[in-house]
Amino acid sequence: MTSPLIKRCLAVSIISLVGLGPVVLFVGGAQASYKATPYQTSRKNAGTPNSTMVKKNSDGVIIAYGNSSITYRAPSAALVTLGDALFQQNCASCHGTQANGVPANGTAGAFPDLVGLGPATINFWVDSGRMPAANPRSIEAIRRVPRLTHDQALAVSAWVNSLSPSYPDIPYPHLKNANVADGAALFALNCASCHTIEGDGDALAMSTFSPSLRKIPSIEVAEAIRTGPANMPRFTGNLSDAQVNDIVKYVTTEIQHPNNPGGFGLGGLGPVAEGFVGLAFGVGVLALAGFWVGERDD
Amino acid sequence: MTDEHRTPVSLSGLSSNDPRLQPAARHPELVERVISVCFIVGTLCLAGFGACYWIDAQPWKLGATLGGGLLFLGIGIVAWGKYLMPRGPFVEERHTLANSDADRRAFAAAIVERGGSVVQRRKLLGGLLGGAMGIFGVVVMFPLLRSLGPLPKKTLQHTDWRSGSYVVDQSGRRVEVGDLAVGSIETVFPEGTENSDRGQAVDQTVLIRVSNEAFTTMKGRETWAPHGYVAYSKVCTHLGCPVGLYEQELQLLVCPCHQSMFNVTNGAVPQFGPAPRPLPQLPLYVDSSGFLRSQSDYHQAVGPGFWERS
Amino acid sequence: MSDVINTKRAKKQALGSYGRVGKSLDELDDRLGLARGGRTFMDKIFPDHWSFMLGEIALYSFLILLVTGVFLTLYFIPSSAIVTYHGSYTPLDGQKMTQAFASTVNLSFAVRGGLLMRQMHHWACDIFVGAIVIHMARVFFTGAFRKPRELNWIVGSTLLILAIVNGFLGYSLPDDLVSGTGIRIAYSIILSVPFVGTYLAFWIFGGNFPGTMIIPRFFILHCLIVPLVIIGLVSAHLFLLVRQKHTQFPGKGRTEKNVVGSPMYPVFIAKTTGFLFIVGGITALLGAFAQVNPIWQFGPYDAARISYAVQPDWYMGFLDGALRIWPSWSFHSWGYTIPFEVLIPAVVLPGLIFNFVFVWPMIERKFTKDNEIHNLLDRPSNRPMRTAVGVTMLSFLGMLFIASSTDVLAKFFNVSLDTVLVAMRYLTVIVPILAFPITYRICHEIQTLHGGGRRKTPNVVARSAEGEYTATPSPRYVDDVPSHLEATPVPTYIHEESEESGESGVRVVDR
């Protein structure tokens, strides 16, 4: 038998569910109307190398690119034929046989144009396993076990680059020359705002996310920084090769092999995890201890 | 341990061999042996703590020995008190806290009549003293508050960006027009402030290249983003966190603290989240040597809202 | 000759029947008058239900905070002066940082036992606030705050506020990236107060953010001023508890006019000392195996740097959650701004919550019209309205805590961040409203349950000659004979100077 009070309470909760919903949505959701744009912009100016590190000859052709911090190498021309075959097999169904993109759902640029993006861009996506995409319709491709080997990925990037040679080339960082303390400072300023200061990644706006940096080889870190894949901004002239080298060293040493002298790292989630552990293990276990120390009633 | 089903008895009426003063455990010798083991283990752990400290062992070893020692000692002591000490329960009377009516009346009389009547007769003195205490209460707050810091005046309304300030990164290097590619972001400051606290706190600005050509974010800002370089204040208008999270495809600047999202292409208007105002945009221009410079200070106060913010 | 032979025995006799200890106590009594008060104190009876141990967790973690805190003050340098770190942690080697941060890194890596002390201190604080919260919940749900204990409730609620504040001040001291962001947010919250916000912020911080004064000021507040107030209030809390005597659950032999339990000495002192060691042990084990606040990974605070996935420590989470989900309402007219999107979640809401907590005894007295003294506790299910109000408040706060981890939830459940935020806006309103009638109903259901909430006693099943089975509940111990209070003569070894009252077995003590 429900008392009148209970009936009233249930009525209030149902009304609030129905009534407050639209109110909350109205004040919470839209301050300005947001039109969804295609997720892949058409990237002009994608291949601009670090403008301080480029040596040009008298004709204005770039002849040297890189230094003692990072060496940039274009993939070998001998891989182009293999790359062509691999591309037609694995990539052409979405990106087109000429790698210049295919409209999907009537939206231009949905499966993007890869021409002129530079070998490092292509190599990053393929070598990290993000491409071929597990779900081509997802907002952000997830990292997974790569479908192609390292050499096969290089071959694909060699072929795509051959369509319109561009920058950046594949970076090979020389970690022995890097300064991990400078890398820590640069990481905190440029990278921590998306990837978190511990490098674990997190959910970002809409359904995008920044990936964890824990299991990434050094070449891939450098490629990501220089090419800015997907929603990640690219760092070209604003970070010198020495600075990128420092960041790569910091990520591959401290982030990927943290010291953790204090015990278990609790997943790098910070105070959220600490709160759980403190309340569950600390207060919880002590409350149980109190249950033993004290008495129970009848 | 107290046995809830036994009738509570007063502590004082018991002889020393009363069964209720006997240990609570049914097998006290066994319990005693268990407690001895606990004590021995605890002592060994604490000795281990001393040893670990001596040899400068890792922190987890120090903590494990200390924790184990304290825990075992604690378990032993509690078990002693619980199982080997007199079982109860014992009872004690509560005495009403309130005193008798006569005492209460005398107390009230002392305060009201003895003290009160004195003030009643001297109303003028009472009033003057009350006023003096009031003034004292106010002026004593002056040094406690005002000496702590300066007056805000107009400090929050301006940054150090001026007409012609060079845009520099945190190492002091001037930003040139060819530096950033489309989709790049950099944290910049007016030249000279990049190492100062104030510079970092107030002047911090994000520089984003959204296109290769001049870009218009809003009406009236046609000259503000030359060559596609857009500059917004990095101080979030919600609570002041640096808005460093840039998603180049979504063209959103997301504040990492409470996830306010600002649209980079239309003047950093907030799309979502608790931020109330757009990020102020810094008007830029490119000088003859190719360096980026600011046309003027921000046209409004940067950062979170405050009363005098117009 | 008898003096020589019996010297030892004579000396022993001269000491009296309690030996050397008795003689010392006599000496103390000559000087301090301890004997009667001491006996009364030691005979004090403490009800020892397990839920009364929760406040002790708080008390003992506070003691641990004091001890580990003293260690930390010997090494921590509360200064914002910039120094260059040269030490064993390579990612910071050669970096410029404040002396506060550098000394904390030094504490963690160069001082023997320093990291353990730091972590124990931090874990003890998390446990301290958590224990206060569940202790308060126990007091609330059992009605222990009623007359005459309203004052103790107010003292305890103030202690909760001070514990939270001191925790915030403490974890902000190392001046690392994560806690420095929290200080920036605190600055903006102070700014948001209408009329006086800018003045207050400039005075508390000694100027614009960040300035150089805030770390030294936080240090003095955290190590001296607030702990002194806490110690004073804890002493008042315990004094009131001893003076008014502890409450107890109703049960056999328990009335409004007595206290049933174990005596202070030796039982309660033994159990509570053991519990202190257990609290210390668990805190040390947490400090050993669970890394907390690894400031070296965060790096020094720089106003232009920020990390994602930053939350304050758990007890500040309700403020962070409220700030995240509150819509961006802001008043801006006539040249003035009132940032309601900051003011309401961060100033008005906690103000309302804590004011509600403080005046709850008065509210309940008004509604129940109950001005009696209560020394017996309620079972929560017997007071459905109060229990429902408490659960509603706790679920509201719980929703705010969950709302502070929106990005972690989005990552964990693979949901869009925006969806999580909008969902939290709904849930924070709906879950508490739903919790009220559900709790109310559950309480009523428990009341109607025969023996609900009680421990099961065995049934004695008997078969009659006709073959009928009957089951009767048995007492716990089959050989337990219910006794009644009988008049027992006062044992001869107790010397009573005052007259015994006529009642049996009860000693009347003059106070």
Residue C431 pLDDT > 90, yes or no? yes
Confidence bin at C481 (pLDDT 50/70/90): very low
What are the pLDDT digits (tens) for A75-95? 998 999 999 999 999 988 888
In a domain, B41, yes or no: yes
Whether residue B28 is found in the same domain as residue B135: no
| Contact check, Cβ <8 Å, C288/A263 | yes
* Residue C262 scores a pLDDT above 50: yes
Nearest Cα of chain B lies from the Cα of A5 at a distance, in angstroms, of 36
Q: CA A131, CA C210: separation in Å to the nearest integer?
A: 45
Q: Encode C347-413 in three state secondary structure.
A: HHHHHHHHHHHHHHHHHHHHHHCCCCCCCECCCHHHCHHHHHHHHHHHHHHHHHHHHCCHHHHHHHH
Secondary structure (3-state) at C425: helix
The H or E element that residue C236 is part of is helix C226-244
pLDDT digits (tens, 9 = 90+) for A225-269: 988 888 899 888 788 888 999 999 999 998 888 888 888 888 777
- In tens, the pLDDT along B261-283 reads 999 999 999 999 999 999 999 99
Chain B residue with the nearest C-alpha to that of A264:
B60
From the CA of C82, how many Å to the nearest CA of chain B?
A: 11
Answer with the one of B111, B146, B181 that is the final residue of a domain. Answer: B146
C478: nearest CA partner in chain B: B5
- State the pLDDT confidence band at C486, using cuts at 50, 70 and 90: very low
Specify whether B140 is located in the same domain as B214: no
Give exposure, B8-34, as e/b (b: 16+ Cβ within 10 Å).
Answer: bbbbbbbeeeeebeebbbeeeeebbeb
- Whether residue B279 sits in one domain with residue B163: yes
Closest by Cα among A246, A202, A236 to A69: A246
Q: Which chains neighbour C (Cβ–Cβ under 8 Å, 3 or more pairs)?
A: A, B
In this structure, the answer to whether residues B286 and B232 fall within a common structural domain is: yes
* Same domain membership, residue B176 and residue B52: no
- List the strands of the sheet with B261-263, edge to edge: B245-247, B252-254, B261-263, B269-272
pLDDT, position C3: 54
Task: Tell me whether residue B279 is in a domain.
Answer: yes
Assigned domain for B121 exists:
yes
Are both B86 and B164 inside the same structural domain? no
Q: Is the pLDDT of residue C1 over 70?
A: no
Amino acid letter, residue C132: I
Q: Mean pLDDT over residues C76-81, rounded?
A: 95
Let me know: does C62 contact C279? Beta carbons within 8 Å.
no
Bridge-based pairing state of the strands B9-10 and B90-93: parallel
Q: How are strands ordered across the β-sheet holding B167-168?
A: B167-168, B185-190, B205-209, B229-233
Of C288, C306, C429, Cβ closest to residue A193: C306
Please report, for residues B188, B231, C212, C221, C253, the alpha-carbon distance to residue B166 in angstroms, rounded to integers and kept in the order given.
10, 13, 27, 41, 84
Same domain for B263 and B290, yes or no, is yes
Q: Is residue B278 part of a domain?
A: yes
Q: Is A45 exposed, middle or buried (0-12, 13-18, 19+ CB in 10 A)?
A: middle
CA-based nearest residue to C127, from A138, A143, A279: A279
* Chain C interface mutation, best of B14, B169, B197, B198, highest count of C Cβ atoms under 10 Å: B197
CB contacts of A293 in chain B (<8 Å) are 78, 82
Minimum Cα–Cα distance from A186: chain B residue? B170
Answer whether residue A39 shows pLDDT above 60.
no
Residues from chain C that touch A15, judged by Cβ atoms under 8 A, are none
Residues 6+ apart with CB under 8 A from C463: C469
Of C74-78, C108-112, C264-268, the one with minimum mean pLDDT is C264-268
Q: Is C168 in contact with C183 (CB distance < 8 Å)?
A: no
Angle among Cα A46, A48, A51 to the nearest 5 degrees reads 155
Mean pLDDT for chain A overall: 80
The pLDDT tens digits for C436-476 are 999 999 998 888 776 555 555 677 888 889 989 888 876 65
Residues B207 and B169 in one domain: yes
Of A43, A231, A237, the CB nearest to B247: A231
Cα torsion for C266, C272, C278, C279, to the nearest 10°? -160
**Amino acid A23: pLDDT:** 58
The verdict on residue B107 lying in a domain is yes
Mutate to test the interface with A, among C85, C171, C308 (most CBs of A within 10 A): C308
Q: Does residue C63 carry a pLDDT above 80?
A: yes
Read off the pLDDT band of C4 (50, 70, 90).
low
pLDDT of residue C476: 54
> What is the three-class DSSP state of B176?
strand
Least-confidence region, from B212-216, C193-197, C270-274: B212-216
Is a pLDDT exceeding 90 seen at residue B232? yes
Whether the per-residue pLDDT at C129 is higher than 70: the answer is yes
Interface test with B, best of C200, C240, C277, C480 (most B CBs within 10 A): C277
Chains touching B, CB cut-off 8 Å, 3+ pairs: A, C
Q: Between the CA of residue C46 and those of A221, B21, B85, C148, C257, what are the distances in Å?
A: 64, 16, 15, 18, 14
pLDDT of B35 reads: 95
Q: What is the mean pLDDT of chain B?
A: 89
Asked whether residue B290 falls in the same domain as residue B161, the answer is: yes
pLDDT value at residue B41: 97
Write the pLDDT tens digit of every residue in B132-142.
999 999 999 99
Tokens of C402: 């969950």
- The CA-atom distances, in angstroms, between A164 and each of A47, A110, A111 are 11, 21, 18
Average pLDDT, integer, range A215-222: 93
Distance in angstroms (rounded) separating the CA atoms of residues B250 and C374:
62
> Nearest C-alpha of chain A: how many angstroms from B127?
53
Residues B115 and B57 grouped into a single domain: no
At C364, list the tokens: 């309940």
Give the model confidence (pLDDT) of C295-351 as tens digits: 999 999 999 999 998 899 999 999 999 999 999 888 888 889 999 999 999 999 999
Residue B104 in tokens: 């209460």
| pLDDT interval class at C487 (50, 70, 90) | very low
pLDDT higher than 50, residue A43: no
Give the distance from residue A148's alpha carbon to the nearest chain B alpha carbon, in angstroms: 26
Answer yes or no: do B81 and C421 touch at CB < 8 A: no
B307 in any annotated domain: no
Q: Which pLDDT does position C441 carry in this prediction?
A: 92
Query: Can you give C159-209 as a three-state secondary structure string?
Result: HHHHHHHHHHHHHHCCCEHHHHHHHHHHHHHHHCCCCCHHHHHHHHHCCCC
**Nearest C-alpha neighbor of C208 from the set A237, A109, B200:** B200
> In terms of domains, do B164 and B58 share one?
no
pLDDT value at A3 more than 80 = no
Whether residue B36 has pLDDT greater than 60: yes
Res. C38 pLDDT band, cuts 50 70 90: confident
Tell me, yes or no, whether B305 lies in a domain.
no
Q: How confident is the model over B107-127, as pLDDT tens digits?
A: 988 888 877 777 777 888 888
Going by C-beta distance under 8 Å and a sequence separation of 6 or more, which residues neighbour residue A271?
A: C178, C311, C312, C313, C314, C317
Task: Note whether C280 contacts B74, CB cutoff 8 Å.
Answer: yes
The burial of A118, by beta-carbon neighbours within 10 Å (0-12 exposed, 13-18 middle, 19 or more buried), is given as buried
Domains annotated for chain A, with CATH where assigned, are 54-255 (1.10.760.10)
Determine which of B32-46, B67-81, C242-256 has the lowest per-residue pLDDT on average: C242-256
Chain A residues with CB-CB distance to C325 below 8 A:
28
pLDDT at C478 over 50: no
Segment A192-197 shows an average pLDDT of 93
- Res. C484 pLDDT band, cuts 50 70 90: very low
Which of A261, A266, A292 lies at the smallest CB-CB distance from C290?
A: A266
Residue-averaged pLDDT of chain C: 88
What is the rounded CA–CA span in Å between residue B309 and residue B295?
A: 22
Q: Which domain holds residue B107?
A: 102-146
Q: How confident is the model at residue A33 (pLDDT cuts 50, 70, 90)?
A: very low
Nearest chain B CA: its distance from A26 CA (Å): 11
Looking at domain C49-323, its CATH class is mainly alpha
Angle (CA) C365 C369 C373, round 5°: 65
Please calculate the CA angle B66-B70-B71 and round it to the nearest 5 degrees: 115
Residue B24 is assigned to a structural domain of this protein: yes
CA distance A110 to A42: 10
**pLDDT tens digits, A263-274:** 888 877 788 889
Q: Per-domain residue ranges for chain C?
A: 2-33, 49-323
Please tell me the total count of domains within chain B.
Answer: 3
Strand partners, A73: A170
Q: What is the mean pLDDT of residues A207-216?
A: 90
B63 CB neighbours in chain A (<8 A) are 263
